[in-house]
Structure 1
Amino acid sequence: MNSVKIEKEEFQQRIEKIQHSLERHGLDAMIVYGDEYRKENLRYVANFWPIFERGACFIPRKGAPILAGAPEGEKYAREMTWLEDVRNIKEFACVSVPEEIEYPLAQFSSLSDIIREVSGGGTKVGLVGYWDIPGPIYNRMKDAVGGGELSDASAILAELRLIKSEAEIACLREAGRQACLGYEKLIETCIPGTTEVQAAGAAEGVARSEGAEDINFTVFGSGKRCDTVIGRATHKVIRDGDMIMAAMAVQYEGYVATVEYPFVAGKESDTQRDFLRVLFEAAEVQYGYLRNGCPAGEMVKAVSEVFKKYDMQQYDVYPPLHGIGLAEAESPYPDKDADYLLKSGMCVNSDISLFGHPHGSNRIEEGFVIRDNGPESLTPAIRERIRKGV
């Protein structure tokens, strides 16, 4: 049984930091919205991940937060969250049907009453999840603030989530371990005659059996389907000599590690081998830049230079690195013009890709923690394969 997790004390510290930020920004309260798909911010403050329903954490400038959800998930919410005050509001009930469902045994609180309670009569409320929340619910929240102001406060949480604690890093390391074991099974299963779905299922099963709470996605393409950039596994049969483009995002305690290693099923050709070596070389060059104090844009340029050396820059479709944490992709997400510095405690995922080249399309994804003297690998099995492939 895995014992790595975020303890209650760390959640309490997060709330204290948020409350200091509310004071600094002149906000009376914060609403952190989440649902089954946009779960990361709600998980960060309340350790709650809704199923079917919606949820929000209402954080006052002073005092204890309130978690609001819906009746079907109330017991589940109480089981999962560290917060003691858990309530139901009708706006957060089942999201997939247009009918209004009766819950005769449920006790409901009013959305407007909760907002008035946490704002303490104040008029300035920050909202995290502005781009995720449905319009009708946003409008009801805005109405509940009355003549006050409901503003986008996402930047407050984005800043707090940028540098990971050692407990968060431990969760990502465990997710990475599970992902690596699953990916080894994927490589083993990708033999001529197997379908994409069978290979993906074998990998996901291993990760689940190792303790993964979710597989956020498995991107899969074989042969010509590698050109899709992203795509799901199909019933296509893998053939001898098919390039395999497969990425698996594994979630543990909310934290997501993604792995992807480009390879060929069966016998690889000389041109395929040469193509893959360019990706491996770019990954090794990037590795040398993943340290505290390195300008993020310089790392992006260094990867691009590898592709230019082999006249492949036209197949480089997006920046080669993004942050990881409670979301599979989060800040930082630098491009060549990024002038900020990589900092110790940032957790990142490489995303080194070439798509549309005549000899193949693929990418590399591996996780790292930025440290003072260089990167710590969160997915060492993938790191080892890449080193051997250069």
Structure 2
Amino acid sequence: MIRIPIEEFAARVEKLRVLMKERYLHACLIYGDEYRKENLRYMSNYWPLFERGAVIVPLTGEPIIVAAPEGEMFCREMSAWPDVRLLPEFACVTVPDKIEYPMAHYTSLTAIREKLQEHGPLQRIGIVGIDAIPTPLMNSIEQGFAGIELIDASDLLFKLRMTKSPNEVRCLQEAARIADAGYKLMINQVKPGMTELELASLAYGECIKQGAEIMPFCLLTSGERVNTIIGRPSGKVIADGDMIMAAIAVQVEGYVATLNFPFVAGRISDEQKKFIDILVEAEDIALSRIKAGAKQCEVVRAVKAYFKEKDMTEYDLYPPLHGCGLAEAESPYPDEQSEALFVAGMTVNTDVSLFGHPYGSNRIEESLLVTETGYESMSKLVRQLSKTWKETATITVI
């Protein structure tokens, strides 16, 4: 089974401590919950369910996990760090009611503060994920660390997460393999008369069967509904000739790979073929600009220039590339003015898309590893579909 080993979490802590020293931080509190899991999972492997969580990383000493009582055993099962403390403020995120847990062994932020001070002064604490912390919880954190300067340090984790280790890449590759299997099943079994929900269920079932931790989303629309840009599958009946826009994201050990390739239920029209031709060519243009040392903005500029040449600019709504990893979309997210360079070890998604066109809306998306000489696609299916389309103008998989 593909896992991130404990040694890698320890190495991440040491890398964070280097950045903390540069910012004169004596500790970092990294927040997460079920919906904003990325930073917390990166530093601890803990992914809360229903509740809130945090890991506090001091300059010296072992990190402290903050959890809530209902998920305590789940936290201990997942966490890379054994020191787990329960706080009532971190309980269920979805209700305002105070929930009683008579068997819980609570501590307090004051007690955690005293533990941290055993290792030295505690004058400045970085908060990672401050934008996701609800106001009442933030108020409790400020009271618990009264007299200590709290600094927004979210940028430190974005910096650490920008390039991926071999273990992280393996997680993404496995997620892409599973996504391929789910998407292939949809392409092979789509037919007029089934509903969008029935079609989506094929991907959900296959991906979970293949080992997905979860599917963060399955976007699926058909016919006129493709103009919604993003949309959940509905009870709409798919008609003959309906274009399908389906994007599935698969998560393995926290890491998310995504794929999307246009396909049609039943008979495909010449106009739909021309539309897909443009997307396939645009993605090839994007891929040709990806390699270590190249400017990220060149991908954006090249795709936009091609869309302009094809009179598609009015349907081009956002940049054709973004990062991927512990979130489906993460840094980098370049525009035409970005000065950032691609670095070997970055993982990115193409997201080449056109929306609102008379013959359809759709995107091509696949997860990629940036290399010194170019890129490696994590999706064998998207590469196969693209090749087959260019050779035969058909969307078929074996």
Gaps of 5+ in 2: 391-398
**SS in structure 2 at match of 1:169:** helix
Match of residue 41 from structure 2: 43
The answer as to whether partners of 2:109 and 2:145 remain within 8 angstroms in 1 is no
Unaligned runs of 5+ residues in structure 1 are: none
Q: Deviations over 1:25-47 (max 9, x none)?
A: 10010000000000010100010
Is 2:370–2:376's contact at 8 Å kept on the other side of the alignment?
yes
Instruction: Mark the CA change 1:116 to 1:27 in structure 2 (over 3 Å): closer, same or farther.
Output: farther
1:115 Cα shift? 3.3
Q: 2:369·2:376 contact (CA, 8 Å) conserved in 1?
A: yes
Given that 2:54 and 2:66 are in contact with CA atoms closer than 8 Å, whether structure 1 keeps it comes out as yes
Instruction: Specify the alignment match of 1:102 in structure 2.
Output: 100
SS at structure 1 position matched to 2:318? coil
Alignment of 1:364-383 (within 5 A): 364-383=364-383
Give the direction of change, closer, same or farther, for the CA distance of 1:322–1:116 in structure 2 (3 Å limit): farther
8 Å contact kept, 1:116–1:145 = no
- Aligned residue for 1:32? 30
Distance, in Å, in 2 between the alignment partners of 1:298 and 1:112 is: 51
Give the 4+ runs in structure 1 shifted more than 6 A.
none
* 1:96 to partner: Cα distance: 1.9
Instruction: Give me the whole-angstrom Cα distance separating, in 2, the residues matched to 1:336 and 1:112.
Output: 48
Other-structure match for 2:88: 90
- Counterpart for residue 294 of structure 1: 294
| Structure 1 residue 388: Cα displacement | 2.2
Report % sequence identity: 49
Letter in 2 for 1:270: D
Give the match's secondary structure for 1:182: helix
* 1:144–1:121 CA distance, 2 compared to 1 (3 A): farther
Give the CA RMSD over aligned residues.
1.0
TM-score, L = length of structure 1: 0.98
Q: Partners in 1 of 2:110 and 2:323 — Cα distance?
A: 36
1:112 and 1:41 mapped to 2: Cα distance? 24
Q: What do the CA deviations read for 1:269-314 (whole angstroms, capped 9, x no partner)?
A: 1011001100000011111111111101111111112111111111
Give the residue type in structure 2 aligned to 1:385: L
CA distance in 1, matches of 2:159, 2:263: 37
Equivalent residue for 2:351?
Answer: 351
Structure 2 match to 1:237: 237
Instruction: Supply the distance in 2 between the matched residues of 1:376 and 1:28 (Cα, whole angstroms).
Output: 39
- Corresponding position: 1:164 with 2:179: no
Residues 298-332 of structure 1 show CA distances to partners (whole Å, capped at 9, x for unaligned) of 11111112111111111100000100000110001
Q: CA deviation at 1:245?
A: 0.5
Shift of 1:116: 4.2
Q: TM-score, normalised by structure 2?
A: 0.96
Q: Distance between the aligned counterparts of 2:172 and 2:197, measured in 1?
A: 26
C-alpha deviations, 1:251-271, integer Å up to 9, x for none? 000000011011111111101
Quote the Cα distance in structure 1 between the aligned partners of 2:386 and 2:296.
22
Q: CA deviation at 1:98?
A: 2.0
| 1:88-130 per-position Cα deviation (integer Å, ceiling 9, x unaligned) | 0010111222221111111001023213432544120000011
The answer on 1:10 being equivalent to 2:8 is yes
User: Aligned partners of 2:3, 2:386: CA distance in 1, in Å?
Assistant: 30
Determine if the alignment matches structure 1 residue 23 to structure 2 residue 21.
yes
